[in-house]
Structure 1
Amino acid sequence: MANRIHSSAIIGDGVELGDGNVIGPYTVIVGPTRIGDGNWIGPMVSIGTPAEYRAGNHPVGWEGELDGAGVAIGDGNIIRDFVTVNQGVHVTTTVADGCYLLARSHVGHDCVVDDGVTLSDNVQLGGHTHVWSWSNIGMGTVVHQYGQIGPGAMIGMGSAIRKDIGPFMTAVGNPAREVAVNRVGLTRRGCDEGQADAVEEYLKKRGDLPAGLPEELAARFAAWEGRGA
């Protein structure tokens, strides 16, 4: 399927596009950037501009000047109005598959946003943040640089994330604190009530991770446990 690119959009050198993408009016995408298939990218979006370093390089990407570790965006994402995604400095800034980035959300340099993440309006991810799969981050939340938000986490609106948030935890406040387990998220990932009970005990450090979890879910927990290795 052909891409549908508005005539006012700017697609710079070093941008690789897959198929079936929609790119809205006055959007600017500069390289090095790779975008997969079936993404809906709205008006006034900025992808691939330099990292927000005061002393960093600021090449004119829309005139073919390329610099940085790049941006990679996967398949089937919805990227709404005025979203900004900055170039990586040390690693590629990444938005994986099936994410929904609402209006005015910001993905800073060297961030990794895994599959199925929702960033609500005006969420701000500081550089080097890792948002794991299936997380849902509420409107106006700010995440400090190098933060990690675990898979399936639910963050209340207006929160300030200053430390890591664990898998399937619900967190809220400034500074944000974990207040509950996201059981709805666990059931949506295939846990029955008994498994959800056992995972809740594990997350509260009162038991071990139960056997027999859905394979994808178990893999995410194992990756989270090994993240500092």
Structure 2
Amino acid sequence: MAFIDEIKIYGEAGTGGNGVVRWRQEKFIPKGGPAGGDGGRGGDFYAQAVRDVHILSKYKAKKSFYAEKGENGGNKSLHGKSGNDFILELPIGSIVTNLDTEESWQLLEEGQKVLLLKGGYGGFGNEHFKSSTNTTPKEWRPGEEGEHGNFYIELELFADIGLVGLPNAGKSSLLNVVTNADAKVGDYAFTTLDPNLGDFYGYTIADIPGLIEGANIGKGLGVKFLRHIKRTKMIAHLVSFDNLSNGSTGM
């Protein structure tokens, strides 16, 4: 499974349900008064942090997500049911940016939930417009549209230990030995093109793609993966003995 650490998606909160025109059904009294209920509110659109760092790969094909619309009002002054919220699950360490408003949110701990888009209010049924001067109102209101937006989601890994070093220093080999990871190993530079993760007695270890001098200005694999070091609790710098024998310090 390819590791994905940035995506763009479109999200839309639910539209509110429409109000309706209805009348009380009473014997011998046609149009016995307004009885149209209000529409239900549209569902909200949330992002929630989970521990699965690979979950962004689920959104590679489907990139548009929608909360549920509110139900229309009903007879006998019944209000429509509110639409279900939509919860977009994202890895801990995700930074969510609304590209339309430039608002930004960070998901820093498991279970953290942030509201990205509000659902629309339900519309009014004709009962809402009853008054002493208008006993048989025919007015009604449609539900409001929910908010919508385009989002950029960027992941900064939360790892206990980050393995860094020159290309081919043995980071992936070490990760495979001490964890249950299955990182690709090869006798050539930049074998690791994506961060690999493994679990060591409850501690998360991240194998960061090889860094070289000038990575901060785009050399090698560039700055794309440097962000994964920012939130790492501990950095382990691996130095290959082969590099030392060739006169390199590995720094």
TM over 0.5: no
TM-score normalized by structure 1? 0.23
Work out which of the two has the higher radius of gyration on C-alpha atoms and give 1 or 2. Answer: 2
TM-score normalized by structure 2? 0.22
